[in-house]
Structure formats: structure tokens, C-alpha cells
Structure 1
Amino acid sequence: MASDAQHDAVPTLHTIEELAALLAAGTVSALGLLEHYLDRIVRFDPALGAILALDETGARAAAQAADDRRARGLVLGRLDGIPVLVKDNIEAIGLPGTAGSRALLGSPPVRDAGLVTRLRAAGAVIFGSTNLSEWANFRTTSGTSGWSGVRGQANNPYDVGRNPSGSSSGSAVAVAAALSPVAIGTETDGSIVSPAGLCGVVGFKPSRGTVPGDGIVPISSAQDIAGPITRSVADARTLYEVLSDRPIYVTSRIDRAPVELDGLRVAVWTPDELADEPAVRAVLDQVADLLRAQGSRTFARSVAQTGPFEAAEFDALLCEFATQLPAYLRSRPGRHPRTWPELLAFDRADPVELSLFGDENFALAAVSAGAGSPEHLRLRAEADEQAARAMAGLLDGCDVAVTVMNRPAWHTAYGHGEDWHLPTSSPAAVSGCPSLSLPAGLIDGLPVGVLLMARVGEDARLLSIGQQLEALLPPRTPPADFR
């Protein structure tokens, strides 16, 4: 374990830049930094349920290697020696990669996902994996976010009786409670930006195709993407530069000139679902006021009824899930289910998997027409068209759109699904546009986030806008019980 002096040198609320400065000054070693977070996990994670597994041996070796490089005057970049957690549906050697399901226990990955390879090459210390809504929240429609058969329930650090949202629940909880400086999540629709909103941290869903998708347990290759969960936009940007498969980001030759807020055209979407929730609407109104005070021009926008939109999306995702998950399982070594009948049989024989809710999406997938079928192609085209129309309507004549990410966290309960989610993540998720969730304040002590969206490929521009808005928003209030 790290010495008391090493512990004192690491601030609880830190950025990658601050930690890199401590490492450069020799105030703390990469190994000492790692031990700091391992100690916090021992202390706090029993109440939080954020961490699914740790690779202490591999992480200590990676941290020591970073220290040895630095002693020789070699530094791989800003992430060199920085601890990072990854969601447990991302393959990383030394971690179980279960997607939260007991069906994959005992069959650990034998390779790193592409994004993990990028992180390791940048010197990041991958030291553990995070809990998640099992199978990335696509096993059932009656499930509870943050629960997995492997780890149980992840809890919101602002009130452990409340939900962290999902499916990247553990990643958001871990970053909010400073169990790690940063983490990686994955999103199909809302699974990065929603838990970030409910847990009071930053979540960035990149444009489709900018982050390698190999080695991630799939729902849909059309929508799945990995991205950073952090406590600052600057950290999200640093991680994205490494994760992205665009060389301009990887080599950090990104244009860092800020986008001017003065004259920025901002679409403001107030969801109809907030008609009777003035406190949540007020958060968005305050953000619009802040932008106008900087010279931005705001324009009221709306998205048509989201019910049909979400139905087409779900049916398209189900077809993709039906084909792509078994294909992934067949490619993964080890003894585990590989077909829908085998998965269904496993769940029914296991004492934990169906203890709180069902697996009806598995049953639907087993009889689905599958990806590439005429039915799937029709559904995917319908979902994509509706998403493109929604984003075009939001961004018509505007540079960026802003809306509310979430209501305050709800009490965790089981067996009847969740109806507290707002539909604001879907247009960007289905269309492949980048989206960025920022903490915007507290309501009754619980975080509420705002969501920024931009056009496909405008990731750097969106992060620049988000970083400037972040500076105008109230300072983030960390969870009192986990400081």
C-alpha cells in the first residue's frame, strides 16, 4: 500500500493534468497513485457496488513500468501512469469481461479490445472493470439499471438507496466517488450520458465510428460505441484523443482553439415530459441564461413524439442483438453458452440470473429474423430516418443543441422496469451524432445533468463548447459520503 505521504499527495478530486503534474514532479509515483485508488475501493466500494473485478497484479506491473520509464526520462503522454477503469463488457486481459452475466464467468478474454490496446499504448494503467446493467441493459425490459448477476446492484453515491442509471453504472459511480480518476463506458442509447447525469459527472458519447468497437460484447454494431466518463470535460477530451481511431486525435494534434460562445447558435429542447417538473426545467433555463449572457443566441426546438421512434429503434436493435451476440460468443474461447437456447437454458438453471427479473429479450431474440433480414433492414432504415429527422430539426440553423439529461435519481426497485428516463439521448444515439452530458447542479441533493449534441464528426467542437459551458456552471458538488 502507498505511504501516508503518497496518500496526502493525491487530492481526492483531481484531473489527469493535475495527476500528470504530480507524477512529473515526483510528488507521487504511478505505483503510489494506483495504491491510492485501490485503498479507496476497499474503503468505499462495499456500499457502492461499482467495481466488478480488479487486476491488481497486472496493474502494479503496468504502474511500475510507467515509473521505470519516467525514471529514464521517457513519458508516453498525459495518460502515462494514470489509472483507468473499463466497463466489464470490454475485453481486457486480466479482467473477466462478463457483461455482468454469470454465463461468462470462467471464460476470461484472451485479447484486449482495440480501445484497451490504445489505452495501454498510451501508458494508462488498466486496473479494474466496472459493474453494469447486465448485458448492457438489453436482457429484459423489466430490469433495474446497475444490477448484474456477477456483482449485484451498483448504487448512486449521492444516495445509495437510489439508482445510478445504466448501463455504464459502475463507471459513473466509480468516477463520481473518486474510486478512479476516469473510466470507460459504452453506449447503445444513453448508457454513457445517462449514468453520468445521474451521478454528477461528465459523459461523452463520440460520433459513430471514431472509437474501435472490436472486443466489446455487442448489442448492435450500428449503435454501440465506447467513450469516457470523467469529472471534467478536459479529461474526457484527453481520453477521447487516445480512444479515437482518427490519427489527429491519437497524435494530439487536435485544434485546441476554443469555439467562441459569443454568437454561437444554440437549440434548446425542453422535453414535453417535464411539463409538470418545474425544478428540472429550471436547470435547463439557467443553462440557456448562462449561454445568452456570453452572447450565444438560443432557439426553442422540440422533438416530435418519441414513442414510435423508440419502438422502431428497439425492434432494429433486437434484430442486431439476435445475430451479433451469438456471433461474438462463438468467437470467444472458453466454456460458455454460444446460442440463444444455451443462454436461455443457463439463465433458467442459474440460482441468481432470474432472481429479480426475466430475460424476455433473450426469448424474443431467439425467434427474431436477425440482422440483414428484410424486416431488420426496414426497421433500421425507419429508425435511422427518424433519428436523422429529429437531429436535423434540432440543429436547423444552429451549431449545437442543449437539453436536460435526466431527472434526479429514483429509488432502486426490482421487477417492474423503470419509467424515469427521459428520451433525450435517443436522437444522437441512433443517428451516430456526438453527445456530452455535463453536471448542471443538484435538486434535493441529487445531480441533474444537461446534454449537448452536435453533428456527426463535430466531436472536438462539441468538447470545446462543453468545456466553456462547464466553466460557467456551478462547481460540481462531490457526494458527501465518499470524499
Structure 2
Amino acid sequence: MSAPSSTTTGTDWTRRTAAELADALAAGEVTSVELTQAHLDRIAAVDGAVHAFLHVDAEGALAQAAASDERRAHGQLASPLDGVPIAVKDVLATQGLPTTCGSKILEGWVPPYDATVVVRLRAAGLPILGKTNMDEFAMGSSTEHSAYGPTHNPWDLDRIPGGSGGGSAAAVAAFEAPLAIGTDTGGSIRQPGAVTGTVGVKPTYGGVSRFGLVALANSLDQAGPVTRTVLDSALLHEIIGGHDPLDSTSVDQPLPALVDAARQGAAGDLTGLRVGVVTELGGDGYQPGVLARFQESLDLLVKAGAEIVEVSCPSFVHAMAAYYLILPAEASSNLAKFDAMRYGLRVLPEHIDNPSAEDVMRATRDAGFGDEVKRRIILGTYALSSGYYDAYYGQAQKVRTLISRDFEAAFEKADVLVSPTAPTTAFKLGEKLDDPIAMYLNDLATIPANLAGVPGISVPSGLAEEDGLPAGFQILAPALADDRLYRVGAALEAALAAQWGGPLLDQAPALEGASA
């Protein structure tokens, strides 16, 4: 994937990792304005085909980059990543920039405030390139449910980039941005990471502020990094993480030393580490090529000194059923605020001379919400209705407790738990749109972490033999032990890179002429 080069050096800055870009800025090899312009040029060249972005803010990004260069000239850096550009999923409020959540019901809405994650990005000096595409209100596993059209996987433009955060993952995989922010409700950072060959991290629930994140399911949503390397994720995580008094679910605990853990792991020594293979997250239903890459990754961890143990989490088999009761229930409540009365779309019903507020609300929600959103609102409303609450939502919450207990028991036997991130590689666009259950199964391995609130990371594990597409290796750690993800993930990444002769994305097909 080649991109327009910097006019001053001839270097293709879009191919560098965020850490490398930070080093180049520190060495005076390039300016933030040049880096930002190189990525804007890349977006212009390929995003017509990839459709990773819903809104590109070239003027704002270049202004932020110029401010970064000014700070650097005066020795007043705001963070280690000051001047490195980033993309932000369109579910996070951005003052002065549209925030649509991939939905027609919020088309053109410009928030009057920034989400805390965005506040921290701006304070750290990262120019925001724009907002990335997503399944409507983060409901989906393929980014085909965006009201503004699907995003395409840079590895194969006829395939999905994962969901709901496929825009962020595709932007990073297509070298349109070195960093991105995603959100993970049931795997929407990790699953897109797996199918696009990128690194995706779901932090501990409450470890990154949810203030200004348009809620899908409050007890499940979590923002996190989307990057090309484990170290880049650690650098970004340390910027966006930490306690926020504006978020009642924020954990008032200091972040562990994530960057140090990533650097330690890259040295390749995992002596004494116990890696638990979850028996319920593998086997039937998993693509053979995905399982082959998973086993190869396990073998590399053993060579690095880790001990492999098998653990059973029997309640995990009920995780998807519980999740698809809890999530729709919370979503139906959250989406009730889109009522045409306060902000967003307003549609007047036809053939009604003096429509009531209820008439307008009904017409607006019918026109503004897509099929998948309507499906989940109906399911959630039913699960919460009188006479069914205890039978459905209440039972699902009991299963959630059992899943948390399974995690606790497993972490007594192992320091981290591992599995394939997704059962298969990226499927073709349109292949599962008419089969919601088949679509939901893509999150089979990632959902348990959201139900229990534990952190997880997906690291590229190689290409499946059947189709030459990326697979992912998932690592889970106990709550607040996010540093373990980075240590183990960086060790695996280093071992795989040595085996491949470089990063997995170097093997991705080119996108030359994609904008046509």
C-alpha cells in the first residue's frame, strides 16, 4: 500500500508506526503538519474505496498540527505522541465536528462539547483527522449497518472490516491513520482488529472514561485504542485512560505502567507466565485456518517461557444469549431519547394535519433508525416488559454473574486467558445481512469479557490458509491488570514479526487506484 510521500524527504510517513512517527518528530526529521498532510493525502487517495471515514476535518487537523509544531519549537510537548495524527470513531462527541453514530437520526448533529477521551487527545496534542464509520449506534458485527454505507476491508474490498468499529480498524489498516479510537461493547474493537490485521484493545470497564460516548449499553461499552502495534496501543491507552469524575462508572485507580509492560514483553521473556486456553472458546464453528494460527501463536508463547494450562469456563456457552438480552434492553432505554423533540432528525407524518408529539416521534424513529436498530429496540423493550423482565433480563443478569465467577476461577489457574479473537476471517459484504444470528456469532469469543468487565486485546496472528486473510489472537486479563495484555501481546507480536520478517500489514495487498 503505497501513499503520497512527504514533499520534503521522500519518506512514506503513512507506513510508520505511531512510536516511529513520535521518534521522527523528536529528531526533527518531519513536522506534525507534514505528517498530518501525508495522512490526509492518503485518505483522499484511497478512502473513496475503503470508506473508513464519515467526516474528514482537514482544516482542523492541520491547525492542530501547526500548534503541535509550535509547542515542539518551544520545548513544551504535551505528551509522547504530541503531533501524531489520529482518527476517532463517530460515537464519541466532538465539539465542532459532526457526530452521527452512523445513523440518519443524528445526521448533521454537531455536539457543543467533547467526550473526555477527545478532551484528552486534544490535550495530548494529537491532531484529529476525522470521524470514522460504524454500524448504526454500534449495533452490528460488520459495519454494514451504517446509514451512510458500509466500510470495506483493505485486505479485500469485497469483505467486511468487522464491526461495529470497522471504520477505525480499516483506517489504520489502510494507512489512512496511524492511530484510531474505537469502542467495544461486545468485541467491536477486538473483532475488527482480528479481521483487518490490526491491534485492538478493550480496556478494563471503567478504565477509560465513557463521558461523551453515545451509549449503546452503559454496562458494556468501553472506548479503547486501535493501532498497528502493541506499543502504539500502550502509548495511546496511557493518554486516554485514568479516572474521570464526569463518569460515574470510572474506576478511581491509577493506570498500571502499560508502555513499560509493552517494552518488557517485546524482549520476549515470558518465563513463569501461566497462559490459560479456554476450552469453550474454540473447536466447532471455528475456521481451521484461524485455529492453525492460534496454535502457532501458543507454540511461540511456550518458546518464550510461558506455561500453557487448559481452563474451563462452562458459563461462557451462555454468554451470547445473555448478551443479546442485556444489550437490547439497555439500548432500548438509551435510544428512547431520540424522540424528535430535542435534537437530531424530525419527520412530520404524512396525511395528518395536526400531528401529536407521539405521531412525530413515531414517524421520526421509523425514518431515522435502520433495521438492525429497530430489531434490537423491539427485542429490548420486550425483555423489559411487565411479565417478562424476570424471565429474560433478570435471568440474563444471573448468567452474567456466573460468567464473572468463571473468570475469577480461571484467573486463579492462569495469569492470562487466550482464544482466537473471532471464529472466522472476514466474510464477504452482504453474506450475512439476512441472517442476524449468524452475524451475532462473530462476537462469540469476545462477548464474555464485556459481560465481566475484564480487559482484552487482539493481536494479529497471521493469515489463514483458506483465504489469505488475517486472523486474531485474543488475550484476556483480570480487571485492572491491563499491563498483562501489553506484556504478553508484545511478546507474541515480536515473535511473529521475526517469523514473518516484519509486520503483518506489510503483506497486505496494495490499494493503488482505489479511489477510482
TM-score, normalised by the number of residues in structure 2: 0.84
Q: Are 1:281 and 2:287 an aligned pair? A: no
Contact 2:5 2:11 in 1 (8 A): no
Out of 440, 461, 469, the residue aligned to residue 461 of structure 2 is 440
What runs of 5+ residues in structure 2 fail to find an aligned partner? 244-252, 348-356
Out of 122, 125, 128, the residue aligned to residue 126 of structure 1 is 128
1:241 equivalent in structure 2:
238
In structure 2, C-alpha distance between the alignment counterparts of 1:316 and 1:252, rounded to whole Å: 31
1:416 equivalent in structure 2:
435
Structure-to-structure mapping, 1:19-418, within 5 angstroms: 19-137=21-139, 145-246=142-243, 248-249=254-255, 258=264, 260-270=269-279, 271-274=281-284, 277-304=287-314, 306=316, 308-327=318-337, 329=338, 334-336=343-345, 345-346=363-364, 348-349=366-367, 354=370, 359-366=374-381, 369=384, 375=390, 378-379=394-395, 381-406=397-422, 407-413=424-430, 414-417=433-436, 418=438
In structure 1, C-alpha distance between the alignment counterparts of 2:32 and 2:434, rounded to whole Å: 43
Contact 1:315 1:379 in 2 (8 A): no
Amino acid at match of 1:382: K
In structure 2, C-alpha distance between the alignment counterparts of 1:416 and 1:269, rounded to whole Å: 27
Q: Secondary structure at the match of 1:267?
A: strand
Shift of 1:17: 1.9
Shift of 1:3: 7.8
Q: Secondary structure at the match of 1:481?
A: coil
Amino acid at match of 2:489: G
Amino acid at match of 2:72: R
Shift of 1:319: 2.0
Per-residue CA shift, 1:138-183, capped at 9, x if unaligned? Answer: 6xxxxx7212444301011111111111000000000011100010
In structure 2, C-alpha distance between the alignment counterparts of 1:374 and 1:122, rounded to whole Å: 45
Residues 462 and 337 of structure 1, relative CA distance in 2, 3 Å threshold: farther
Shift of 1:309: 2.6
Greater Cα offset, 446-455 or 49-58: 49-58
What runs of 5+ residues in structure 1 fail to find an aligned partner? 139-143
The root-mean-square deviation of aligned C-alpha atoms, in Å, is 3.1
Residues 278 and 322 of structure 1, relative CA distance in 2, 3 Å threshold: closer
Shift of 1:482: 3.3
Contact 2:50 2:170 in 1 (8 A): yes
In structure 1, C-alpha distance between the alignment counterparts of 2:256 and 2:476, rounded to whole Å: 22
Q: Secondary structure at the match of 2:223?
A: strand
Residues 65 and 343 of structure 1, relative CA distance in 2, 3 Å threshold: farther
Shift of 1:316: 1.7
Contact 2:194 2:458 in 1 (8 A): yes
Residues 255 and 405 of structure 1, relative CA distance in 2, 3 Å threshold: closer
In structure 1, C-alpha distance between the alignment counterparts of 2:206 and 2:332, rounded to whole Å: 22
Greater Cα offset, 403-412 or 318-327: 318-327
2:353 equivalent in structure 1:
none
Contact 1:137 1:145 in 2 (8 A): no
2:14 equivalent in structure 1:
12
Contact 1:133 1:148 in 2 (8 A): yes
In structure 1, C-alpha distance between the alignment counterparts of 2:304 and 2:260, rounded to whole Å: 25
Amino acid at match of 2:207: T
Residues 40 and 434 of structure 1, relative CA distance in 2, 3 Å threshold: same
Per-residue CA shift, 1:270-316, capped at 9, x if unaligned? Answer: 53444674322211211111111122110123443755332222212
Contact 2:316 2:403 in 1 (8 A): no
Amino acid at match of 1:32: E
Identity %: 33
Contact 1:97 1:104 in 2 (8 A): yes
Amino acid at match of 1:363: I
Contact 1:176 1:231 in 2 (8 A): yes
TM-score, normalised by the number of residues in structure 1: 0.89
Amino acid at match of 2:449: A
Q: Secondary structure at the match of 1:8?
A: coil
In structure 2, C-alpha distance between the alignment counterparts of 1:208 and 1:435, rounded to whole Å: 10
Greater Cα offset, 428-437 or 305-314: 305-314
Amino acid at match of 1:156: N
Greater Cα offset, 406-415 or 296-305: 296-305
Greater Cα offset, 403-412 or 201-210: 403-412
Greater Cα offset, 172-181 or 340-349: 340-349
In structure 2, C-alpha distance between the alignment counterparts of 1:257 and 1:176, rounded to whole Å: 23
Out of 462, 465, 471, the residue aligned to residue 488 of structure 2 is 465
Shift of 1:201: 0.4
Q: Secondary structure at the match of 1:37?
A: helix
Shift of 1:340: 9.8
Shift of 1:337: 6.0
In structure 2, C-alpha distance between the alignment counterparts of 1:383 and 1:331, rounded to whole Å: 36
Contact 1:58 1:94 in 2 (8 A): no
In structure 2, C-alpha distance between the alignment counterparts of 1:380 and 1:282, rounded to whole Å: 33
1:477 equivalent in structure 2:
504
Contact 1:405 1:425 in 2 (8 A): yes
Query: How many residues were matched structurally?
Result: 473
Q: Secondary structure at the match of 1:91?
A: coil
Per-residue CA shift, 1:409-449, capped at 9, x if unaligned? Answer: 11111333344615111221110000000000001320000
Per-residue CA shift, 1:230-288, capped at 9, x if unaligned? Answer: 00000100011011114744998967773651111111135344467432221121111
In structure 2, C-alpha distance between the alignment counterparts of 1:154 and 1:202, rounded to whole Å: 18
Shift of 1:367: 5.2
Contact 1:103 1:343 in 2 (8 A): no
1:141 equivalent in structure 2:
none
Q: Secondary structure at the match of 1:258?
A: helix
In structure 2, C-alpha distance between the alignment counterparts of 1:46 and 1:253, rounded to whole Å: 35
Contact 1:158 1:445 in 2 (8 A): no
Residues 20 and 150 of structure 1, relative CA distance in 2, 3 Å threshold: same
